[in-house]
Amino acid sequence: MSTSIPTLSRRHWLSMIGKAAGGGVMYQAMSSLGYAQESNYRGPLELSKAKRGGSVVILGAGLAGMTAAYELRAAGYRVQVLEFQERSGGRCWTVRGGDSFTELGGAKQTCSFAKGNYINPGPWRVPYHHYAVLDYCKKFGVRLEPFMQVNYNALVHNSKAFGGKPQKFREVQADAYGYVAELLAKATNQGALDQAVTTEDKEKLLESLRGWGALDKDFRYVASHSVSNHRGFQIEPAGGLMPVAQYSTPIEMSSLLQSGLWNKINDGHLMEFQTAIFEPVGGMDAIAKGFEKEVGSLVRHNCKVTRIEQNDKGVTVTFSDTRKGGAAQQVKADWCVCTIPASILAQIDIQVGDAMKQAIQSLPYGASFKVGLEFKRRFWEEDERIYGGISYTDLPIGQISYPSTNFFSKGPAVLLGGYQYENAHAYAYTAMSPAQRIQAAVEQGAQLHAQYPKEFLSGFTVGWHRVPWINGCFGLWTDALREQHYRNLCEIDGRIVLAGEHCSYIPAWQEGAILSSLDAVKRLHDKAQATA
């Protein structure tokens, strides 16, 4: 498979940042591009008691749908949930030994991982500032453990540099920071920078400093979207129709220098410390199971929705049973919360206004793939002393993430052997068969770890555009699309409201799905109370 670098997308640029500067810097960049915003969740939703007779049908039992079910039932509504799959959770999905999955095109995989091993094809980490996810985990007793995003003993790899030999993360980072510090020191002396770098190198250095320091086009550090994504917002980005974000104002430079606070910000780069990111013990679907314990009795599985109708008195949803077959069935309710991804909803006959229909049909979904590889032993620990964290490469697999749990254990173990999103490699890998993806991941991973061929046992892979119930990974918003369609997507249309990560300013994250659902539920409840 070709190792040429594809045209840069925003997410490929994030991967490049991760290779050069580490997960912490990459995560800040993800925030600046709208992929990892800080949540504005400030506590549980408090709804007044619903007036008598209120009923809601919820379409989809992912986290957005189960959040809506939990909160609306607590407010006194009669709730029922229709889910297409045989399980709840949506993209909050964990694959273990014995699990099977058939992708579009008919390729079927049955996972053969050893007991206790798993791969999360969708979400695989929970940032510390995704407060809503963490709050529900606490409420439902979902145990969390640290996820090691940054490991200074992991690898950074360029197949065209250093004879293709991987380099230690810490060595590359220390050298890069050291050279930048030296250049900036030289720049304080008149003319020194001109002697140190060429004109072309100056331009590249300035461009890198702009991204690193969140500088504006004139290389100034002033209040802006980019700066606020580094230091926080006055009003944080949210989901649905919550208040619009407002930028924060930087501290005046002299005051900051005199305070000495700048001396405290480097602790996160030391080997002893890691970014506060979490994962559920035993797999990401522990979060879905936490919700299921509360609302699982409300969910009906294997329901393929084919039509959504409404009038001034209620909503009628037509569906078929994908397991039992038979005649079409219908569910009626006063209100509907629809969390079906826009990529699927665009194919369903839904009775809403033209503005919402156009919004649904206009939102593309991003590409992504993951490959989980099981090996006979934890050679990355035993041979190379890599305990958790991520190695980055320019090869099509993108990155290798080592398990952050069960350190020093014996027997087979699974690592994430390939993960790309919204670039040419993501589309190319999705186009492959599962066997081809796994083979390519093993062959390329061997360029970082020579033990791969000898230690490999089995693999499992998901290319998200081949997943039948979503046809993509996440809502791929642009500023222009949001300006034209976002509000129309989120507004209540008669008795129907949409929710999910695609209805948030935190796309591709579970936090966005939950915040969107909470906002949709509150607005729907307010309307129901006013019209009952």
CATH of the domain at 52: 3.50.50.60
The CA distance from 65 to 58, in Å, is 6
Q: Is 370 helix (H, G, I), strand (E, B) or coil?
A: strand
- 204's CB contacts (< 8 A; 6+ apart) are none
Q: Which of 486, 479, 367, 448 is nearest to 154 (CA)?
A: 448
Kindly state the tokens that stand for 469. 């119930």
Tokens 């790309």 belong to 420
Angle at 109 between CA 106 and CA 113, to 5 degrees: 175
Q: Is 414 helix (H, G, I), strand (E, B) or coil?
A: strand
Burial class (CB in 10 A: 0-12, 13-18, 19+), 527: middle
The CA distance from 187 to 179, in Å, is 12
- Identify the pLDDT of residue 174: 55
DSSP designation for 207: H
Kindly state the tokens that stand for 351. 């009775």
Beta pairing partners, 319: 305, 329
Kindly state the tokens that stand for 248. 């924060």
- Identify the pLDDT of residue 286: 98
The CA distance from 40 to 185, in Å, is 39
Q: Which domain holds residue 263?
A: 41-93+234-274+285-365+478-532
- Residue 30 inside a domain? The answer is no
The CA distance from 380 to 403, in Å, is 10
Residues of the chain with pLDDT under 50: 1-36, 179, 181-182, 185-186, 188-190, 261, 267-268, 270-273
- Residue 115 inside a domain? The answer is no
- Residue 69 inside a domain? The answer is yes
Beta pairing partners, 307: 318, 349
The CA distance from 520 to 96, in Å, is 33
Burial class (CB in 10 A: 0-12, 13-18, 19+), 326: exposed
Tell which phi-psi region holds residue 337, choosing left (phi > 0), alpha (psi between -120 and 50) or beta.
Answer: beta
β-pairing, 126-127 vs 349-350, is: unpaired
- Residue 484 inside a domain? The answer is yes
Residue 481: enclosing H or E segment and its boundaries?
Answer: helix 479-481
Over its C-alpha atoms, the chain yields an Rg (Å, rounded) of 24
- Residue 316 inside a domain? The answer is yes
- 177's CB contacts (< 8 A; 6+ apart) are none
- Beta-carbon neighbour count of residue 60 at 10 Å? 30
- Residue 143 inside a domain? The answer is no
Q: What is the dihedral of CA 201, 202, 204, 208, to 10 degrees?
A: 130
The CA distance from 57 to 81, in Å, is 6
pLDDT tens profile 34-63: 444 567 787 788 888 887 779 999 999 999
Length of the chain: 532
Q: Is 398 helix (H, G, I), strand (E, B) or coil?
A: coil
Q: Which of 20, 393, 376 is nearest to 175 (CA)?
A: 20
Burial of 18-56, coded b for 16+ CB within 10 Å and e otherwise, reads: bbbbbbbbbbbbbbbebbbbbbbbeeebebeebeeebbb
Q: How many domains does the chain have?
A: 1
- Residue 134 inside a domain? The answer is no
DSSP designation for 95: E
CB 455 within 8 Å of CB 376: yes
DSSP designation for 27: H
Q: Name the pTM for this structure.
A: 0.83
Spell out where 311-367 has E strands.
315-321, 329-333, 335-338, 349-350
